[in-house]
Amino acid sequence: MITLYEPNEIDFTHNGIGILDKNIYDAAVEENLNGLFMFTFSYPLFAPYGTKIDGMSIIKVPTPDGDQLFRVVSPKPSMGELVVQCYHIFYDLTENLIEDIFPESTDGNGAMHRISEGCQYKHPFTFYSDIPKISSSRIVRKNPVEAILDSGQDNSFINRWGGELKRDNFDVKMLNNRGKDRGVVIQHKKNLLGYEGVVDWKSPITRIMPQGFDGLFLPEKYVDSPLINKYPHPKIRIVEFKHIKAAIGDNTDDEDAVPLEEAYKLLREAAKEMFAVQKVGQPKATYKVEFQELSQTEEYKDFAVLQRVYMGDTVTVEHEEDNLHIQAKVIAYKYDPIKKEYTNLTIGNFKNSFTDVNGKIDKIQDELADMPGSILDAAKNHATSLINSGFGGHVRVHPDRILIMDTKNEMTAQKVWQWNINGLGYSSTGINGTYETAITRDGRIVADFITTGTLNASLIVSGSIKSRNGRMGINLDNAAVEFYSLTGSPASTVSQAIGPDGREITYWTIERIRNPKASLSIGVRESNGSVGNNIFVDGESGNVAINAPFFESHAYGKFFGWCDFARPINFTPSSYVNSQIQGTSWTIDNIGGHQGAIFAPKKSGTGSLGTTTWTWAEMWVSKWNGVAFSDFTNRGVFEARVKVVDGAFDSVRNTMDRVNKESVDRDNAIRKDLDRVNDESIGRDNTISRNLDTFAEEARRRLSALESKVK
């Protein structure tokens, strides 16, 4: 479905303003490899949603790579219809700006990351690259699309790192190879309606004379292409591989030099790689297929297989008359999003021309930057070569300045060197500047690249400093040291910040949000390269593991979490533990089998661990409610069944024996008290009896006396 959305929509899972399929016509998606990606269509002005299609509207459209978002840029009403032109949502980036960045000595992913972060304002796009090549580039006042794709700018990504662009909605990927070889083969046909094939037979190289450092050549001189017999005569080129150096003559002690036979082997392999990987033995060719016209021919069935290829895919074209197979890539297409099929397709091997042989050499020269001993030499050689080949310029001497220009006329000159009392500078945009390379009299140097042997400075002011391989960087503006993974993604950062309480804190953080695979390990490097006896922080869960044979602390420790003893624990106290265990209760829960126990203190208690013991046992404890080890009373209930291994709880037995003895002593004391009470009670009873007898006797005596008086 072709779906219309509001300009500021961010959720494209619903039907938006409406579906355009019913009334849309002349719909076409066009894409060129590393080039334009657009969608055009016509729509009746007064049909449903016709008045809703406006500049900046977003339209979701089926393409060979799935549904893609396009932004309307030019809706033109005419004679009751709208003719609409849209560009892929990727081109929203043309309205952003990169002020000044310098991806230095980094791979493709590192460069794409810097381009993304260097934008003036945040955007919804994700940048990525799988290109391992190490290079550098200074990008000043360019929008991100120019920074990536402008082949006319020497410092663009496409010129420094190469690659093939894949735009997938908000994902921007620069890949070594966008497509794949799906085994598609077609036959080259001459004079076929709807098919055109153009082959440049001057472009192949079938014999290479590889040249190493300091004029090193092979004893046999040449390496031949497997296709050399496909042509009337060999096509020879000299290709220089300066990074291959033999340990001979003045280079015998150089660290980057290798034995002579190994250098020969490397030269042969480098030449063979150009034939196998770069395909320089094949001619440059372009093939165009118009499916509508081709469908009128009997041979259409032979080309229908091309409906199953995608941008960047490799197609093999068989030239039977020349007994030659040429591998070419899909480099452009036009697609009908209603019928969901290609209307035309262009395939070509434009990357395999001699200009790409030069590109291969440039790649090798760029990789010299990874060899510290040769950086300065490479820069000197480059400067020497550039200056010695600077013929054809025009020098004009004025009383107050000297001009060196690419034309005689100062008004038309573009490449200009100017030297006057204030300094020396070069402009590529004419005599009025801007002078992008300059040395001024106040001691300032303006340059994209400065190569030096030793730099002695009291102050270096920069946004960031990065290692040649892109693995570490110092962000001076953010006061951070950044570490990157092998893929160029952020791994961890050492930074400084002020905490909520005002303390100035140094953090070592895992960049989990920007790199979900990142983790941190601090440990000892073993002889095999592994890191053992380490403290490991899992970036995904945040868990900390201490993998060390011994852990020692000289500090007072507090534990605020749960502790699960999954293995036998060996307690080796240096003295008795007699201090109180704070909390409200002790509980040991039955967690089964040989799994140890979980301690949850809740009341205070005191006790001793005793001497060294192995406390591995099978335990079933119902309750242990804060009873002091030295004072068991009716307050506590202790129910336990303990199977002791190797005298594990001798100290506990001793405590229980002591408690039992104290209980017996208490019982004996109670019995004595009861005997005393009984004795006292008997004494009281006897006294009362005697008193009663005395009272009765006295009563009888008085009664007798009274009776006597009466008589």
Min mean pLDDT across 64-73, 476-485, 597-606 is at: 597-606
pLDDT tens for 279-290 read 888 887 777 777
pLDDT tens for 441-457 read 777 787 665 656 556 55
pLDDT tens for 646-701 read 343 455 566 667 767 777 777 777 778 777 777 777 777 777 777 777 877 887 78
Min mean pLDDT across 30-44, 345-359, 465-479 is at: 345-359
One domain, residues 81 and 131: no
Does the structure show a pLDDT above 60 at 368? no
One domain, residues 51 and 133: no
Q: How many CB atoms within 10 Å of residue 674?
A: 10
Q: Read off the pLDDT band of 709 (50, 70, 90).
A: confident
pLDDT of amino acid 434 = 80
Do the domain assignments include residue 427? yes
pLDDT of amino acid 461 = 60
CA-CA distances (angstroms) from residue 46 to 43, 52, 82, 628, 662? Answer: 9, 10, 9, 90, 103
Mean of all residue pLDDT scores within the chain? 75
Q: Read off the pLDDT band of 28 (50, 70, 90).
A: very high
Do the domain assignments include residue 244? yes
Most confident of 244-253, 372-381, 622-631: 244-253
One domain, residues 219 and 296: yes
Min mean pLDDT across 296-300, 486-490, 620-624 is at: 620-624
Q: Are 207 and 223 in contact (CB under 8 A)?
A: yes
One domain, residues 144 and 185: no
Most confident of 47-51, 408-412, 460-464: 47-51
Domain that includes residue 45, residue range: 3-91
Do the domain assignments include residue 25? yes
One domain, residues 168 and 190: no
Do the domain assignments include residue 666? no
Residue 647 CB contacts under 8 Å (≥ 6 apart), including other chains? 613
One domain, residues 52 and 147: no
pLDDT of amino acid 59 = 97
Q: 501: which 2 tokens? A: 């309480």
Min mean pLDDT across 61-70, 88-97, 296-305 is at: 296-305
Do the domain assignments include residue 638? no
Does the structure show a pLDDT above 50 at 644? no
CA-CA distances (angstroms) from residue 490 to 31, 307, 487, 511, 691? Answer: 32, 40, 9, 6, 105
Does the structure show a pLDDT above 50 at 432? yes
How many structural domains are present in the chain? 5
- List 425's β-bridge partners, or say none: 418, 438
Q: Read off the pLDDT band of 295 (50, 70, 90).
A: low
One domain, residues 350 and 279: yes
One domain, residues 219 and 287: yes
pLDDT of amino acid 650 = 54
Do the domain assignments include residue 648? no
Do the domain assignments include residue 677? no
pLDDT of amino acid 630 = 37
* E-state strands within 150-253: 164-168, 171-175, 181-187, 195-200, 207-211, 223-224, 236-240
Q: Are 624 and 589 in contact (CB under 8 A)?
A: no
Does the structure show a pLDDT above 80 at 213? yes
pLDDT of amino acid 239 = 92
Do the domain assignments include residue 599? no
Q: Which residue in 447, 413, 445 sits closest to 432, CA to CA? A: 413
One domain, residues 167 and 305: no
Q: How far apart are CA 399 and CA 396, in angstroms?
A: 10
| Residue predicted with more confidence, 562 or 126 | 126
One domain, residues 532 and 516: yes
Does the structure show a pLDDT above 50 at 364? no
Does the structure show a pLDDT above 50 at 23? yes
pLDDT tens for 550-572 read 667 777 666 666 666 555 554 44
